[in-house]
Structure 1
């Protein structure tokens, strides 16, 4: 370990009996800091606003006493022979003066000065063999103070932080009533009990049951048995992660993950966001009306409002990425009831694996999410890191989900001897991609919703845009009837939707594709990366070479039926790998792609076929036996595709040959609108 490492100190042999293991969550923080030792990403911070006649000396004394009583704030992380352990080290004389007074009342802008102070301190990287916490009382005015606290996440999680600040508030209130703080004793809460409880859990039948539950959920993602797409991500031909809000993406910068929308680093942070080296953070209140709708929808499905909130996030991720297999991380404190009073670090992220389609109703999604949450919470003590090891997953895939939802069932706001003290969370620790939290808060106060993002993946306006989009979509889903289809939920207003889509323009196409047609550009990509994954559809993954093979087979089949340039080809195929193959196959044959919807009445299908001069029909097996398709087969060739897009039935006696050139000026596809007269109108492109 390098001399100035913030991570640990060696411990002498005679001291080892005083040490004990780290919790699994602490180990995760340890290794996260080890990978990036100079990063402040593991800091968590909070600002408590105090308006009133605060006794500064009394608050300082209450904080000193609370720290003295808390094992986690007297920790040393130590190593011996490569093993990482911890011990509680209390000085013989309790430390005092831990609360640093900072008078900013004489500055030109005390509020701005306070924000700068906190941002600068949040960038601090403490040695873990020294006290890894900091407290300051920022005086902005005689009746206004900010009580600022910062911890390293290896010592305290969100629940632990709330327990600690509440203890300080309780001690302050007792002291204000005249009690002697030195004589105050609190219920025993030794950190060793937290570690012992986890050790006992790993040797229990419950651990094995939890292990079976989670490995069963993700068995198809085990190394060598499939590929995992983190929530919101698809891959480009080179295997890098991309994002896809409505068809455009963002390429990784060489790290192991990417943002939901395009990363930019040349834009300053707007005033309404706070930024630390560990992330971008934004907070806003959620109107009571929206929260009431969440509760109403939850009551109708006999579940909790948190299940409805997670449903909205899952539907949002599915909408902006186009993925149906969505995994949303649910933050959990990982404690059972008997250990919830102990200040420590046991947080976990439970990966909720969901199937979300536009054809699902709001009610169906809420029921599915509620069931998934119930199962996950019954098995919440099994760590995400352990699951990744069981699945032999590494690097970014080991996160299983990049979008994390934190439902805060505890109120951070405090009361200091009658002085209300609302809390503002500054950072919740490391953020891989995007993290959302919602807090119900005290009665009479609007709930709070917040967004934390990785600053290396997001620009500041992206965060604001996501916040606006999520709140808008959440409001729409919460206020919808249970039988409304997800695809029919409004998604931002026109300006907001345009901004979201504009953020996903992706990278510039390779120079050799400039001016080329779609078939030419696709074939060039096949030559560059034939074995890279091109389409992922549930259990079906097609490489570029495989996709080209099925598309070419369809092109040759169409040409064998005499299909020529700009002839319309009706395509009645569900969202699947086969649809991608069908689109490429039709355009590759020189024909015009004419999308059709199985939900249309027969009269509309007939009208579209007539207007677009449809010469053949391409369907998947799910639609092959529909009455309209069977009737059409009497007059037109009907080609049935399998799940991979290969020709299953309907091939001609002999196949044609692929066109040598597809002219860029030819008709590529025909889309239909309802038309002002009620008749479908075609628009050729």
Structure 2
């Protein structure tokens, strides 16, 4: 393999020079250069508080948390050869405040502002890469909003940052000493990645992934926009509750994440009539203590390949998913982008998976001392086609489902119908016998036929000849 740019960059940087980008950051950097709007990689969410909030302490918590987080305190620039670099810098991190108390519907007005803020164009070399904003809805009701560019944090890094903010705020309000951070430095993260990319472990992971690329199936997408469709789908839609998945997981002796992944694969099989299913599975790509405690951008998306037949018991699909997820996690540090380049080189696949299923084992509850908050995750990364997200606690209680689509590819009514139908399908799985075949589990008959037809036909004007079992997919924007 060619020399790794991260390892070479660290060696050239010395102890205080510009640092290379992680492999994940490099992908974001080059993708951002192709983003005319400059906002495709914006991420964020907000914590909702009910109660007394000490704004001065929150502002100080923001200042301290940013001051000890290298990943946020960086500037980016390309060198004379066009290679991007980053280096720690003094970054201003004020807590901005906006008051919506005089609005007729303060919550709605604040949420509209948040969505507009996520559309703010970002200049990686000169612009703000993150912002913290406190939105006042009432004297005892607030939304604490964080927007960040994906090049500095991934979704896991965002949660680490929220938790550190909460820890500092609690200490300040209680009048006790703030405990030192347990996080490492950005240089630590990059050094660990460089070590991995020069190791036999990477070659082993690469061999594992390339062993299955010879007969890669066609890409699946639920996208269908054409004449007569409704308005384009919006990003960051509301979630819907899904009940009792934890009971089903206990019955099969697996985490609830395995049940929802199996359910989504079964749903895609029912809608598309395809048996060879590949979905994108976001993984942390963090296996060391430093990586698990340090905010940064390391996230990875790898393919989860499954064989689904209508006559197979759902129990068997759950077992297959459990085994395949274990394989993915065992090799999660190998970059999905590197695998995709190999697939394109061999002609096995030209596009990454159209459907990404993001499982977040976090119920959103977070305490800032005595002040209890609920995290509302809006986006932890760009969406090329469709991201299906499941959010719940470690036991699966309070599980919620949301669909985050690329608006250029998806119709609002179809996305809402798929979301509601998948939620209904999950409810049916809870009631179904474990021997029930995947093809017999109840699904909303009133919309199944129209959605199935939509998923399998090309849009008007498309003259390509498709095999009878093929699913049309739009080209990513």
TM-score by length of 1: 0.62
Sort the Cα spacing of 1:265 and 1:452 in 2 relative to 1 into closer, same or farther, 3 A. Answer: farther
Count of equivalent residues: 455
Sort the Cα spacing of 1:46 and 1:509 in 2 relative to 1 into closer, same or farther, 3 A. Answer: closer
What's the CA shift for 1:374?
0.9
Helix, strand or coil at the partner of 2:434:
coil
Q: Equivalent of 1:363, from 299, 312, 315?
A: 315
Helix, strand or coil at the partner of 1:134:
strand
What's the CA shift for 1:114?
0.3
Q: Equivalent of 2:407, from 441, 455, 462?
A: 455
Which residue of the partner structure matches residue 76 of structure 2? 77
Q: Report if the CA contact (8 A) 2:282-2:299 is conserved.
A: yes
For 1:53 and 1:533, the matched residues in 2 are separated by 60
Cα root mean square deviation, aligned: 2.7
Sort the Cα spacing of 1:509 and 1:70 in 2 relative to 1 into closer, same or farther, 3 A. Answer: closer
Q: Report if the CA contact (8 A) 1:118-1:148 is conserved.
A: yes
Deviation by residue 1:358-382 (Cα, 9 ceiling, x = unmatched): 1211111111111111111100111
Sort the Cα spacing of 1:395 and 1:39 in 2 relative to 1 into closer, same or farther, 3 A. Answer: farther
1:119 aligns with 2:115: yes
1:138 aligns with 2:135: yes
Q: Report if the CA contact (8 A) 1:413-1:441 is conserved.
A: no
Sort the Cα spacing of 1:341 and 1:18 in 2 relative to 1 into closer, same or farther, 3 A. Answer: same
Helix, strand or coil at the partner of 1:452:
strand
Deviation by residue 1:113-151 (Cα, 9 ceiling, x = unmatched): 101211111110121124301111111101101111100
Which residue of the partner structure matches residue 252 of structure 2? 298
Sort the Cα spacing of 1:396 and 1:137 in 2 relative to 1 into closer, same or farther, 3 A. Answer: farther
Q: Equivalent of 1:231, from 193, 202, 220?
A: 220
Which residue of the partner structure matches residue 467 of structure 1? 419
For 2:13 and 2:401, the matched residues in 1 are separated by 49
Deviation by residue 1:405-431 (Cα, 9 ceiling, x = unmatched): 111134432111112100111222211
1:331 aligns with 2:282: yes
Helix, strand or coil at the partner of 1:438:
strand
What's the CA shift for 1:498?
4.9
Q: Report if the CA contact (8 A) 1:358-1:486 is conserved.
A: yes
What's the CA shift for 1:86?
1.4
Deviation by residue 1:192-223 (Cα, 9 ceiling, x = unmatched): 111111111111111111101100121334xx
Deviation by residue 1:562-595 (Cα, 9 ceiling, x = unmatched): xxxxxxxxxxxxxxxxxxxxxxxxxxxxxxxxxx
What's the CA shift for 1:286?
2.0
Show the 5 A alignment for 1:101-112: 101-112=97-108
Which residue of the partner structure matches residue 284 of structure 1? 240
Q: Report if the CA contact (8 A) 2:302-2:332 is conserved.
A: yes
Q: Report if the CA contact (8 A) 1:46-1:424 is conserved.
A: yes
Q: Report if the CA contact (8 A) 2:245-2:396 is conserved.
A: no
Helix, strand or coil at the partner of 1:219:
coil
Q: Equivalent of 1:380, from 286, 309, 332?
A: 332
Show the 5 A alignment for 1:85-484: 85-90=85-90, 95=92, 98-129=94-125, 130-179=127-176, 185-221=180-216, 228-232=217-221, 259-262=222-225, 267-268=230-231, 275=234, 279-287=235-243, 290-299=244-253, 303-338=254-289, 339-393=291-345, 397-441=349-393, 446-484=398-436
Sort the Cα spacing of 1:434 and 1:509 in 2 relative to 1 into closer, same or farther, 3 A. Answer: closer
Show the 5 A alignment for 1:512-531: none
What's the CA shift for 1:495?
2.8
Q: Report if the CA contact (8 A) 2:258-2:321 is conserved.
A: yes
Deviation by residue 1:145-171 (Cα, 9 ceiling, x = unmatched): 111110001100011000001111111
What's the CA shift for 1:404?
1.0
What's the CA shift for 1:485?
1.0
For 1:56 and 1:17, the matched residues in 2 are separated by 35
For 2:40 and 2:48, the matched residues in 1 are separated by 24
For 2:113 and 2:122, the matched residues in 1 are separated by 17
Structure 2: runs of 5 or more not aligned: 1-11, 471-477
For 2:228 and 2:83, the matched residues in 1 are separated by 39
For 1:266 and 1:285, the matched residues in 2 are separated by 27
For 2:380 and 2:437, the matched residues in 1 are separated by 34
For 1:158 and 1:105, the matched residues in 2 are separated by 30
Q: Report if the CA contact (8 A) 1:298-1:305 is conserved.
A: no
Sort the Cα spacing of 1:30 and 1:330 in 2 relative to 1 into closer, same or farther, 3 A. Answer: same
Helix, strand or coil at the partner of 1:19:
coil
Sort the Cα spacing of 1:359 and 1:450 in 2 relative to 1 into closer, same or farther, 3 A. Answer: same
Helix, strand or coil at the partner of 2:128:
coil
Larger Rg: 1
What's the CA shift for 1:19?
1.4
Q: Report if the CA contact (8 A) 1:293-1:479 is conserved.
A: no
Sort the Cα spacing of 1:393 and 1:409 in 2 relative to 1 into closer, same or farther, 3 A. Answer: farther
Helix, strand or coil at the partner of 1:335:
coil
Sort the Cα spacing of 1:488 and 1:14 in 2 relative to 1 into closer, same or farther, 3 A. Answer: closer
Helix, strand or coil at the partner of 2:267:
helix
Which residue of the partner structure matches residue 556 of structure 1? none
Which residue of the partner structure matches residue 4 of structure 2? none
What's the CA shift for 1:280?
4.6
Q: Which has the higher contact order (CA 8 A, sep 6+)?
A: 2
Helix, strand or coil at the partner of 1:20:
coil
